[in-house]
Amino acid sequence: MINKIFIKTLFIFFLTINKVLSQVPPETDIQRLYKKGERICTTKTKKTLCKAFSFYLKKDFDSCYVYSNKAFAEVSSREEQDVLNYIQGVSAIKKKFLKKALQNFHAISNSPDFKNLKNLKLGQLHLMMENYDEAISYYLKWEDSSLSTNKVLKKNGYHNLGLSYLHKKDYKNAKKYFDKELKLVNDTDTLEIITNKMELANVYYNQYLDETAIPLFVEAYQLAKSFSNIELKQNTSKNLAVVEKNRENFKESVDYYIEYNKWKDSIWNADKIWELTERDKQLAIARKQQEIALQNEKLKRQNIQRKGLVIGASGLLIFIGFLGYFYKKLIKKNKLIITQREELEIANKTKDYLFSVVSHDLRSPINTLKKVHNKLMVQIENEDMLGMQNTANTAIEITEDTFHLLNNVLHWSLEQNNQLLFEQGTYPLQQLVEQTLINFEGIIETKEITLLSELDNEILVNVDKESLKIILRNLFDNAIKYTEEKGTITVKTGIVANNQCYIEIADTGIGIPEERLLKINALRDITIDKIDRSKGVGLGLLLCQTLIKKNKGSLLIESELNKGTKIKVLLPWVSA
């Protein structure tokens, strides 16, 4: 019994349908399939499907399998799908991808065109997968409508059905179908004969008809030996090995086993490979998906990075802009501070100067004035009329001087604070000179100075009249102060070229030493801090310089020691 069961497992072998397919009888299922394939290729533009089909016809099952896989993406109709499933299923069987093939054939519709082919193939597959009951049921379904199946397929169908029954130990049915097959077998077809003989031998052997069975086994083995089919060689040698072992001819048995193993090694477990590749594929897909996810993640991160970069860059730019703005502001502020400091320094020096003026130049004359008035009191008591007159004159003189100084200080400080009213207008020059000169009438008379005035009465000058009066007052004051008694002062006005007129004040006074004159001339841009009162450049001259400049004029000083000084003020002239 053990042997019988063992044998049962051995009787699986595979039919090579491809050889048979080329012999096409008219109007069979297979032919219909071909026609459909051709029609699809001629009428439609399913290139991949066509390619797969053409590979199928060429029996290039590897390519057919690959292309049909791709072709699934472009099929639309049920019919196309069926054709594709069929050719891929066949290719899968060839490649021993049994499970895949099962999927394909199950996917085929039950239309009359495909029903037989589908049942046949499913029967074959289940047989290959050792599901004999199912194999039998599919084959029986097929047999019911086997009229349209071509001879070769029919033969194969009967063979496989017989084989299934054999495995199920239903020997009666097995024999019946093997006989049906044998009727269809062509004598020249070695493969068919070997297979058939082997199956028949099995049937007999299992019924313990050893005498009939063994010669058939040997015959099959001998035939297989000279045939190229490896599976056949393997099966026949294995059958014989089992048979010899059962006959207790162990040496022969071992020889047959060795041969069997030799053939077996050369066969791959293709189905396993298909599963592995399928798993590999799934793994690859999973890996690909993971990669895609990773890539997406990467892209996202890059996007975020880019956004961050852009935001960062713009932020930086804005920051730099702000920085620049504040820096500019700071510089402006600093500049302002510096100018303010300079202004403050000048103001401070002005203040210092004014303090010194007040403390020295004002204090002493006021003190003198007090003494003079005391003297006056005494003289009044003594009724000394002449003395009183002299003292009063002294008092007036001191007061005049001090008043003049005060005026200068006032104007200077107003000018420094930009508070001095300055409005240029057109005025008759002669009148302005006369208006200033009139203030000195008293002292000129007292000092018995001869005043010669040669004033042009047709000159109009463009000045701020109050500042011109301040200038003239200072110049007259100096001229009178430095002129000895009974000296001469000449005042002249006139026109020079370049739209300028002049006022010239010449005295016969002590003159200015050359050294000091140089100093005065050098100090054109004189400022308060450059004033050295001990050297005689006083506030009066400084004020003159400043105001003349402001009036767009200029000051010229000529002097000869002990002979006199000539001062010329040039001012803008307006023709009448």
Q: Which residue has the tokens 């057919």?
A: 64
* CB nearer to another protein: pick between 32 and 469: 469
Of 168-176, 246-254, 412-420, 512-520, the window that binds another protein (rule: CB under 8 A) is 412-420
Least separation in angstroms between residue 529's CB and another protein is 24
* CB nearer to another protein: pick between 1 and 438: 438
* CB nearer to another protein: pick between 116 and 436: 436
Binds another protein (CB under 8 A): choice among 418, 498, 534, 575: 418
Least separation in angstroms between residue 437's CB and another protein is 9
Binds another protein (CB under 8 A): choice among 290, 426, 446, 453: 426
Binds another protein (CB under 8 A): choice among 342, 352, 434, 529: 434
Structure tokens given for 184: 């269809």
* CB nearer to another protein: pick between 240 and 443: 443
Binds another protein (CB under 8 A): choice among 73, 386, 438, 497: 438
Structure tokens given for 423: 């409005």
Q: Which of residues 345-364 bind another protein (CB under 8 A)?
A: none
Q: Are 120 and 145 in contact (CB under 8 A)?
A: no
Of 59-67, 177-185, 218-226, 410-418, the window that binds another protein (rule: CB under 8 A) is 410-418
* CB nearer to another protein: pick between 423 and 525: 423
Alpha-carbon distance of 185 to 181, in angstroms, equals 6
Least separation in angstroms between residue 408's CB and another protein is 13
Q: Are 33 and 149 in contact (CB under 8 A)?
A: no
Residue 466 within binding range of another protein, rule CB under 8 A? yes
Site string for another protein, 81-120 (x = CB under 8 A): ----------------------------------------
26-44 CB burial, b ≥16 within 10 A, e <16: eebbbebbbebbeebbeee
Least separation in angstroms between residue 391's CB and another protein is 23
* CB nearer to another protein: pick between 308 and 442: 442
Alpha-carbon distance of 406 to 416, in angstroms, equals 15
Residue 419 within binding range of another protein, rule CB under 8 A? yes
The H or E element spanning position 567 is strand 564-574
Collapsing DSSP to helix, strand or coil, 74 comes out as: coil
Q: Could you tell me which of 562, 564, 568 has the C-alpha nearest to residue 544?
A: 568
Q: How many CB atoms lie within 10 A of CB 432?
A: 20
Binds another protein (CB under 8 A): choice among 280, 458, 532, 560: 458
Residue 420 within binding range of another protein, rule CB under 8 A? yes
Residue 439 within binding range of another protein, rule CB under 8 A? yes
Residue 414 within binding range of another protein, rule CB under 8 A? yes
Residue 380 within binding range of another protein, rule CB under 8 A? no
**Residues near 27 by Cβ (< 8 Å), separated by ≥ 6?**
148
Least separation in angstroms between residue 436's CB and another protein is 9
* CB nearer to another protein: pick between 202 and 493: 493
Alpha-carbon distance of 477 to 509, in angstroms, equals 12
Least separation in angstroms between residue 424's CB and another protein is 13
Q: Could you tell me which of 408, 409, 404, 486 has the C-alpha nearest to residue 449?
A: 486
Of 22-30, 52-60, 66-74, 411-419, the window that binds another protein (rule: CB under 8 A) is 411-419
Collapsing DSSP to helix, strand or coil, 556 comes out as: strand
Residue 453 within binding range of another protein, rule CB under 8 A? no
Structure tokens given for 515: 């050294």
Q: Could you tell me which of 86, 34, 82, 92 has the C-alpha nearest to residue 62?
A: 92
Least separation in angstroms between residue 486's CB and another protein is 25
Q: At what angle do helices 78-94 and 47-57 cross, to 10 degrees?
A: 40
Give how many residues touch another protein by CB under 8 A: 20
Of 42-50, 127-135, 147-155, 421-429, the window that binds another protein (rule: CB under 8 A) is 421-429
Residue 428 within binding range of another protein, rule CB under 8 A? yes
Strand 450-454 and strand 488-496: the pairing is parallel
Residue 410 within binding range of another protein, rule CB under 8 A? yes
First-to-last alpha carbon distance for the chain, in angstroms, is 156
Q: Are 571 and 461 in contact (CB under 8 A)?
A: yes
Residue 10 within binding range of another protein, rule CB under 8 A? no
Helical ranges in 424-553 per DSSP H: 429-437, 441-446, 465-481, 514-522, 539-550
Phi-psi region of 366 (alpha: psi -120 to 50; beta: other; left: phi over 0): alpha
* CB nearer to another protein: pick between 41 and 460: 460
Residues binding another protein (CB under 8 A)? 410-411, 414, 418-421, 426-428, 431, 434-435, 438-439, 457-458, 460, 466, 576
